[in-house]
Amino acid sequence: MRSLSEIETTAKRASRAVGFSWGNSEEVGKSIRLLEMFGLQGIKNLNHYYKEKETKNFEDLNLISEKNEPSSEAFCPIILGISFLDQIKLIENFDSIHFKKIAHPVIFLSFLSRASEISGKKIHFKFDQNEILLNLNVNISSNILNQEFPKFANEIEIKFVNNQDNFTDSEWNNLYKLAENTFVEESDSLKQGAAGAGLTDND
Amino acid sequence: MKIKLRDPNIIMKLSRLGSFHQSKLSFLRSFLSEFKDWDYNRDFFNLDQEGYGEAVYSFKKKDRVYSLVCFANPIKDEERSDRVIATKWDAAFTLHDGIPSKDDIKRLKDQVPKQEVGRLTFKELTLSRANKSVRVFNHVVECLSEGRQPDVNLLSKVGYLYRTTAVYGSGKFGLADRFRIKNREEINGPFRLEMMLVYLVRQFTFDQVNHIAHFKNPNKAVKLDDQICKNLGIGNSTGLGMAPFIVNHPTLLNNWILSRETALKEIREIKIVENEDSELFIDCVKKSLTNITSWNTDSEYQQKKISLLLKNVEKFINYIENNFDFKTEYPFNEIYLWLEQNTCEECIEYIVSIMMEPYSNITNPLVSNMSSDEDKYFNIPTNRTVQELQDIIEIKYPNILDINFNQKENHQNFWFISKNKEEPRLADRFEEHGSELEQPLAVARDIKKLYEKLLSEKNNSSIAEFLSLNSELRHVVRRAFIIEKFPYSEIQDNTISKNIVPIDMLRLKLSFFGALKFDPRSDKWLRICMFQGAPLPGELKSYDEQWVYKANN
């Protein structure tokens, strides 16, 4: 088995070899390492992408807006991912972000996961029939994790999920009531000797 | 009195970094200190009469066990090479996490001797190989088998029976990634498991030499005297492979240097020095002279440095004995200021290291700050502005900005990865091919490029905007934001100049390892000795912390 350190170094060097700058290649190394750590096919997809890149002119998107459409070939998932990371403070204010045509979306996914950590918000990534929730770079949940990841995404929507509870107040209160059963009612004498007892609040 | 940390623009120059010496902060010393309470054992020793076979050594505490698995194999003299291109070695080693099963040993026997072309698993933590110093090893076998101890003069000239030619860790060749073990308290210090491997290998070399001598002449053979063993370490041949490490790990480098600088600052701030502390300091300085006078090298460059160091240390001893009173307030500050005025860089750093000897209370807490979770500082704060980045560069890289990279001698060399062995190399860009595949190690040149580019940008543009059009400078944008928080993260020198002495980069790292007796064999590789004078495993529970200065070299 390859170690994550080997994966990161090789992905970085390969990226430099196909023409990315050293700084961008470092980003790719980190991202592919992350995918493999999450059990996603980073190395496999990066290989495919670099093979395709020999014959196709994937489009670089440097400035992200709410709606983004390439003029001909699909967006490069690497430049798109790096732009997303770099512009996160700006684009996290958009209600949603739409893209058309991204090559090898799993590569882009790794950058979204890191963006989720930087912004401190979960990111909902929906493309075609697939939905993925990126949870602060701690985990990734999806309805396609056990399938071959699509090599192409046609219609993509990204939403930042506001930090909110996953449960209702009544569900919380029910559980809290149960938790209260581990507490002990204090006697009056104990209350009188507790921290702060005997002092006025105006001392 | 408040003393400022020393200026990174002085300390992070290569000539200064190349003058560093081992200290209490060095990794092999902090390793011994951490593992002194562990149970050491030789678990398995299955060598034939010629000394070939397998052996296992371990350190154990509660449920945690680290096992060194050793494989000694016959090789022909003509196959023995310290160069990284070698494919066979006298012995190969791995540090296994836990107790290796029979299946593990079988697997490791197949893979470990192959080194770079073998595959290890997450159950292995470090990997290494070593060659005999044939002259010394054979001499020791010969003497022991005849019932006498070897010639200590010969031994002291070399200092070891074996020298390692590489020690790998952190995910190389399938070894465990650092993240798998980083939360273990006992390895909360850099290279601790690499140090453990080298230390246990040292013991293997003694056991092997005794074993061979015994079978050569069972009736007459004696064991190598413990005091002689103690004065032997493990040699190491180190090439350029180590140099890029300190460039590629900026926050780690910062934490090493910052710990050293913090220790020095705190020692200079001591108002009254206790008698026993000043006596220990002076004793270590005097005894350390043996280390200097027994430091053998054929390198003219190093001989000059040693000679000047010796003169300067003697001058310092004279000053301390005749013109200095430790009863004066802030004595170590006075000493430091005197050193700056009167001695060379090598001597300043030599004495700075020894100043730490009496002060475990200062150095021990710093040891745990010497690792780094580098991923935490990887992301670039792209919402910052061009003006802010420009300011950082002006403040943090003032001397770098003065270098004229249009002059040929300032960009004469380039760093590349050799296709043959996947190792870093340095070459003249005007004489060798391949500079288009240059590694991103010319930080000074690229920082200057970045600065010049920033001057033509709008000051209030964001870094995100800047990077969208200047991705070729991304690697140095990242570094500039790192140095903003980590002042000692960058070598403040030109790593591609005509005059670069790459072994300065190696020495920096090796001094933090705790190496002694740097012996440059060219400007690109050197030999060193580790653990010479160190306690033997059986002595760890109670040993003299200043052993470094008390070896009978």
Residues B388-401: tens digit of each pLDDT: 999 999 999 999 99
- Say if residues B481 and B384 touch (Cβ distance below 8 Å): yes
Does pLDDT of B380 surpass 60? yes
> Counting beta carbons within 10 angstroms of the beta carbon of residue B89, is it exposed (0 to 12), middle (13 to 18) or buried (19 or more)?
buried
Amino acid A198: pLDDT: 60
How many Å apart are CA A79 and CA A82, to the nearest integer?
A: 5
Sign of the CA dihedral with B270 first, then B276, B282, and B284 last: negative
Does pLDDT of B552 surpass 80? no
Q: Which residues does A contribute to its contact with B (CB < 8 Å)?
A: 1-6, 13, 20-24, 26-27, 30, 62-63, 82-83, 85-90, 114, 118
How many domains does one find in chain A?
1
Does pLDDT of A16 surpass 70? yes
CB within 8 Å: A30 and B472: no
List, for residues B19-30, the tens digit of each pLDDT value: 999 999 999 999
Q: Does the residue A65 lie in any domain?
A: yes
B64 has a chain A CB within 8 A of its CB:
no
Mean pLDDT to the nearest integer, B73-87: 83
B389 has a chain A CB within 8 A of its CB:
no
Does pLDDT of B144 surpass 60? yes
Q: Residues near B236 by Cβ (< 8 Å), separated by ≥ 6?
A: B163, B164, B165, B167, B198, B510, B515, B527, B528, B529, B530
CB within 8 Å: A24 and B471: yes
Amino acid A203: pLDDT: 60
Q: What is the DSSP string of B529-545?
A: EESTTPPPGGGTTS--T
Mean pLDDT to the nearest integer, B473-489: 98
Q: Residues near A104 by Cβ (< 8 Å), separated by ≥ 6?
A: A45, A46, A48, A49, A77, A151, A152
If you average pLDDT over every residue of chain B, what do you get? 94
Amino acid A162: pLDDT: 84
How many Å apart are CA A49 and CA A76, to the nearest integer?
A: 9
Amino acid A197: pLDDT: 63
Residue B532's nearest CA partner among B550, B510, B506 is B550
From chain A, pick out residues whose CB is under 8 angstroms from the CB of B464.
86-87, 89-90
Q: Does the residue A184 lie in any domain?
A: no
Pair type for strands B160-168 and B516-520: unpaired
CB within 8 Å: A3 and B171: yes
CB within 8 Å: A3 and B177: yes
Mean pLDDT to the nearest integer, B497-524: 89
Confidence label for B553 from pLDDT (cuts 50, 70 and 90): low
Question: Per-domain residue ranges for chain B?
Answer: 27-239, 252-371, 374-485
Sign of the CA dihedral with B512 first, then B515, B520, and B521 last: negative
- Say if residues B523 and B501 touch (Cβ distance below 8 Å): yes
Lowest mean pLDDT of A100-114, A128-142, B345-359, B441-455, name the range. A128-142
Confidence label for B522 from pLDDT (cuts 50, 70 and 90): confident
Amino acid B307: pLDDT: 92
Amino acid B421: pLDDT: 73
Amino acid B217: pLDDT: 97
Q: What is the DSSP letter of A135?
A: E
Amino acid B400: pLDDT: 97
Backbone torsion region of residue B454, taken as left when φ is above 0, otherwise alpha when ψ lies between -120 and 50, otherwise beta: alpha
CB within 8 Å: B379 and A26: no
How many Å apart are CA A22 and CA B439, to the nearest integer?
A: 8
How much is the pTM? 0.92
In this complex, the residue of A5, A26, A63 whose CB is nearest that of residue B170 is A5
Q: Does the residue A86 lie in any domain?
A: yes
Percentage of the residues of chain B whose pLDDT score is greater than 90: 83
Percentage of the residues of chain A whose pLDDT score is greater than 90: 79
* Amino acid identity at B550: K
Q: Does the residue A46 lie in any domain?
A: yes
Mean pLDDT to the nearest integer, A2-15: 96
Å from A4 to nearest chain B CA? 7
List, for residues A131-188, the tens digit of each pLDDT value: 999 999 988 888 876 778 899 999 999 999 988 888 999 999 999 999 999 998 888 7
List, for residues B92-105, the tens digit of each pLDDT value: 999 999 999 999 99
CB within 8 Å: B471 and A27: no
